[in-house]
Every structure is written in C-alpha cells, then in structure tokens.
Structure 1
C-alpha cells in the first residue's frame, strides 16, 4: 500500500538540498537562510506541499527573537504566516517592517494581497499605489486590477489587464506576468463573461506550460470555471494526477460525482472518504487553512448544509474573498438561514462588488436583494 509519495526529483529539489546544506553549515548566515527559505517557499507553492513551508520556517528560526531582523527575513516570516492563514499575524509583521522601510516593495505587495484576502480592496489599492516606482508594471497593474475588480470596477480592471497582458514585453519574467493572466480569467469568470473567461484560461494555461511552471492556484481556478460550465469530464482530465493537493482533490471529486459512469462514481466515493480523513487531520493539527474547501465538501458532497454553514461562518472570520462569499451564501441558502448571511451582504454593499452569482444568491435570502 502506498502511504505517501515523495516529492518528484527535479533540479529545483537538488538546488534546495544544496541550499539547505549551506544554511545548516552556517546557521547564523542570513543570506544563506534567506536563499534556502525562498526556494522552499517556491516549491511549497508549486507542489502545494506545506512541508516545504515548515522547512523555510526552520531556516528562519534563529531570527525569531530578533526585534528588527533583516528586512527580507521579516518579509519571509510574514509570507509563511500568510501561508498558514494567520493573516492578522502576517499583516502585523508587515506593518512593523514597513514602519522601518516604507518603500519595501515585497512587503507592500504581500500586504496588498492580504488586504484582498481579508476583503479590504480599498486598503489593498493604497498599497498597490505605493508600489509605483518600486515594482514592475505587470505587478503594479495586476495589483491595481485585483483591487478595482472588487470595488464595482470589474470592467475597468479587465481593460487594464487586457492592455497589460497584450503589451508586456516578452523579456519580463513569467512570475511577474502570471498573476495578471490568471486574474483576467478569474474576473471574466466571476462576471460570467464565459467566452472571454475560457479564452483567458487557455492563454494562461499555455503561458504556464511554456514557462515550465506548475501552478496549483491556476489549476483550481480553472477547475471551478469548468464546473460552473458543467464540464466535469474536463476537470477530471486536468486534475486526475493532482490528488496530493486538497483543493485540487476537492474539485476532482466534485467532477467525478457528476459523471454517471460506474468508474467515476467509485472514484468519487473513494475520494470523498479521503477528503474527510484529510480535513479531520487538519483540524486535529489545529490548522484552519481549508475551512472554505471543507464547507464546500460538506455542502456538495456530504449534503450537510448546517455543518457546512458553521464552517463557512468561521472561514468568513478569517478570509473574505469572492469565493468565500459565494460558499457562505450557498450554505446560508441551503440551510435556510438568511440571518447568518448578513455579514456577507454587508460586505457586498460596502465594497460594491460586481458578481452576478453573488447577487442571485443574495436575492434568494429574504431581504437579501434589498
């Protein structure tokens, strides 16, 4: 029986091993620790494997008690808090860092992203503006578009991204362009511009493949779009080998459960049990990184809207992105609990977010469409 699969060998893993050896040989060398931590964080992102984040935390541990560590170490510590969904802790770390160096671009960008995750697009926009002159045009433009898209200016954001994704020089590194490519697809999908969304997802997927990158975030975003388009077979085709990533496994299972053949139904049943075990293990470790996905699991696969709503409420206290709002409202509608949805409805009014699906869900709640 296969209990766990080791990470696939690659030049990056060999580079990580060499960096780890250098960091361990000189445990108080900030440059060596930073190099190792950055590589570990990137591999954690690419493989959706939190163990790499633990490796990065260990490398930075010698500076835990330092009141004013090197800027990059403070920033990386915030990034690691962000990965654990300790958004308040990450923001506090970034606030302190930016008090020391107000123009430190990585901290401004990370704080902007955290503001977006926590449902504060206006605060995010301020940090995006502060990046002018400190970061590349693709980063600034994508940051601004993400903030605008949640403030009633989705079409403006899409025009910004269209110009950005068309005009950006081929010499710009892919990691600076990838956000804009995926973001254009997500906003089009949210606005239900289905043809434009499909074309944008196709462009982003082709660019990711050409760069030799592996982007779990993109894979999940595209899977959500395909599920909304009632194309479960396409989701299975794309995600059948992505079962190590809980977010991807959830979408794969949702797709399998919608296919009528016996093999898909059997696989869905196996994956439902697997997800249940993984979510239970996450809770046992005291982690809160998958509450949104577990709420969706309970609602759509276990058909338990009351339990799903409890998780959606807890998740909303931590993160408030459009998808969090959608799952919360879906749970509230299914559980027939309109009062529970008030925080989401207030957030929608405050931000002015344009999202037809959110507004349809709100209209299904007594008083929600007012």
Structure 2
C-alpha cells in the first residue's frame, strides 16, 4: 500500500510565481531538467500522451496523478503536484467526483493547507467505502495536524482491521507523541518497526522519521541522528525528512552539513529557508543576503495570492532572518489557527518570547494535552521567568 505519510510542505505554484530570477552570467545553471532517457520520465510522457488523447479516461488519470504525487515527494519537486491536479482536470471542480478522484483531490488539497475541504472529500470517500485504509490514514493525519486528537485516534483505530500493524501503530504513535504518551509511544513504535522488516519502504520511512523526531524532542541527540540517517538511506530526497534533519543539524550548530545537504534542494521554500539559516550560522553575508531576498520575494508572492501555506516558515523567516518578532508573532498566531504540530508550538513560543507576549493559547494547549517537548519546555520556562 502506498502511504502518503505527512502533510506535504509545498505548493506547486510557490516558486513559479515568485519574482523573476536573473542569473548573474550566461554560464550559470538555472535548472536541471529530467533526462529524456530516464525510464521514469519516458513512462510519464507515455501516460501523459495517452491521457491527452482521452482526457476522460478515469483510471489512466488517477494512475498518472498518483505517479506525479509520488515523484513530487521523492524528487523534492513541487511542480509534479500541479501536474497531478492537471491530470484530474475533468473532475477537479465537480461536487461529487468518483471516489478515487476525491482521495487524490484530498491529498492535493491538504498540500495547500485546505484541510476542511480535504476532510470533506475524505469523509465522502469513507461513506462510499468504509474499508478504504488510505482514506482513514490520510484523514487521521489531517486531524492530527489540526489538533483534533480524539477524531484522529478514532480514524487510526479503523486501520487495525484494514492495514498492517506498523501502519496502525505509527498512526497512533503520531498522536501519542503530542498527548502525554511520548515515551511509551516511541517504545512501542520502535519495537513494531523492528518486527516489520518487510514493510514497504515508504512505511518504514514514515515510522523512522517520526521516531527520529520523538528522540529529538526528548534531547536524545545520538539516537535521533542515527534514526534520521537510517531514514535518509531510504529516501535521500524526501522534502519533509530533509527539512526535519536540517532543523536537527541547525540546533546542533552544524550549518555546513545543512549547506551540503540542501545545495540543490532549494526549490522548496522550507528548504531554502533552512539553507539561509545555515548561511546565517556560517556568517556568509553575501550568500545570506541573496537567499533572504529570494525568500522575501516568494513569501510576498504567496501573500498576494492569498496563499497561507507557508505561515510557519514565514514566521521563522521574520523572526530569525529579518529579526522582526512582532510580525513573526502575528504570522505564528495565524498559523496556530490552522495547524498545531510541535514545530508550530515552538515558533509561536520563540516569537512570543522575543515580542514579550504571554503566548497564552499555546501554554494552555500544552498544559491541556500534556505535550512533551524539551525545546518547548525550555521556551516556556523562559516565558514564565521573563528571561
């Protein structure tokens, strides 16, 4: 089973609609295009040609969209999400498209943080087919991001009879890690993964990434790094994993490793942000200025489009690179209204600390859900003592 294991962090138009980039010389490489001889690209062109000849071929359109979504993640290339949506054009705006289209549309909608429309599609899919494991898993993921933990738990529970033990335990652990059961969830997931050596690579990737984040949140840096490296061996270009490991390296003051890892991965705004933060740590002012200018153009273009996908990243940009805590806090507050993951907690607390705000909504949330995160705990302590 192909699992879409996290909310995608990029939207297809983000880079394309930013300010034009003018290379400094005619010899500078602007883009590396897929090789025409690449078997994957040849197969995609063949499928696309068939779909062009018959745009209403539902099975072919769904297959092509699935391939594009998977390739967008594995190649860290957001344009493939746009290609996936284009493949679904005849059904995209229909109120009740076929279930396979609704599931794919939900996946693409969540990539732009349109969580409620995505949930509407998922509920319709599950009403038509309550045995659709992928729909339950995707719904649980969206509900967890929104902080609706009781509904997410119920969605995960439905997987126990429909999918593998590793899928179910990873789904449940993803909730437990932010609701006061972090260590027990980590231990159970680690044991389940050890017993699931034959699980699909994408399932192992999700589990390993989550386990790395769990260890990182309790300050076990050695174990966290070992898990990140195991995950990278499975998917060296996965955009979410690259961002998470980059954050780990930045926390450990290892910016040169971040620069080497993200050298050709900056099409994604979140990864360009992390490269800029690494440049800041190396004090490379010239390269940093160029990245800040590019990020500002991308975020400005997104705001003009009404695109709120990158508010967490933009808050971090304003706080750490532009040193504007007031603007960062406003963005963090808007982001908090949409999603409530550990990274959302931390950027809100960091901005509140520098803006001298009490961060009451986040403090109340952490207390009510017994959220365990060593970095967040340190920020909370500083907020309470005013240091």
Q: Is TM > 0.5 for Structure 1 vs Structure 2?
A: yes
Structure 1, residues 3-35: CA drift from partner, whole Å, max 9, x if none? 952543343332222221122222221101101
Structure 1, residues 304-354: CA drift from partner, whole Å, max 9, x if none? 00011111111111111110110011001110111xx22212221222111
Point out the more displaced range, 97-106 or 247-256: 97-106
Question: SS state of the match for residue 319, structure 1?
Answer: coil
Structure 1, residues 216-252: CA drift from partner, whole Å, max 9, x if none? 1111100101111111122112112212121111111
Superposed CA RMSD: 1.9
Q: 1:319 to 1:3 in 2, by over 3 A?
A: farther
Point out the more displaced range, 318-327 or 341-350: 341-350
- Equivalence for 2:153: 125
Q: For residues 127-146 of structure 1, what are the structure 2 equivalents within 5 Å?
A: 127-146=155-174
Point out the more displaced range, 48-57 or 112-121: 48-57
Indicate yes or no: 2:350 matched with 1:330: yes
- Equivalence for 1:313: 333
Question: SS state of the match for residue 354, structure 2?
Answer: helix
- Equivalence for 2:112: 84
- Equivalence for 2:223: 196
Match of 1:12 among 40, 44, 51: 40
- Equivalence for 1:187: 214
Question: SS state of the match for residue 160, structure 2?
Answer: coil
- Equivalence for 1:240: 263
Count of residues paired in the alignment: 358
- Equivalence for 2:79: 51
- Equivalence for 2:289: 269
- Equivalence for 1:39: 67
TM-score, length-scaled by structure 1:
0.91
Would the aligned equivalents of 1:329 and 1:362 in 2 still touch at CA under 8 Å?
yes
- Equivalence for 2:364: 346
2:159 & 2:203 partners in 1: Cα distance?
14
Structure 1, residues 57-79: CA drift from partner, whole Å, max 9, x if none? 22222124545432211100111
Greater RCO structure (CA 8 Å; 6+ sep): 2
Higher normalized helix content (fraction of residues): 1
Question: SS state of the match for residue 27, structure 1?
Answer: coil
Which consecutive residues of structure 2, in runs of 5 or more, have no partner in the other structure?
Answer: 1-22
Indicate yes or no: 2:182 matched with 1:164: no
2:95 & 2:117 partners in 1: Cα distance?
15
1:178 & 1:164 partners in 2: Cα distance?
13
Match of 2:315 among 274, 295, 315: 295
TM-score, length-scaled by structure 2:
0.88
Point out the more displaced range, 12-21 or 185-194: 12-21
1:195 & 1:6 partners in 2: Cα distance?
35
2:98 & 2:149 partners in 1: Cα distance?
29
List structure 1 segments (4+ residues) > 4 angstroms apart after TM superposition. none
1:266 & 1:70 partners in 2: Cα distance?
52
Would the aligned equivalents of 1:190 and 1:356 in 2 still touch at CA under 8 Å?
yes
Would the aligned equivalents of 2:76 and 2:265 in 1 still touch at CA under 8 Å?
no
Indicate yes or no: 2:196 matched with 1:178: no
Would the aligned equivalents of 1:291 and 1:314 in 2 still touch at CA under 8 Å?
yes
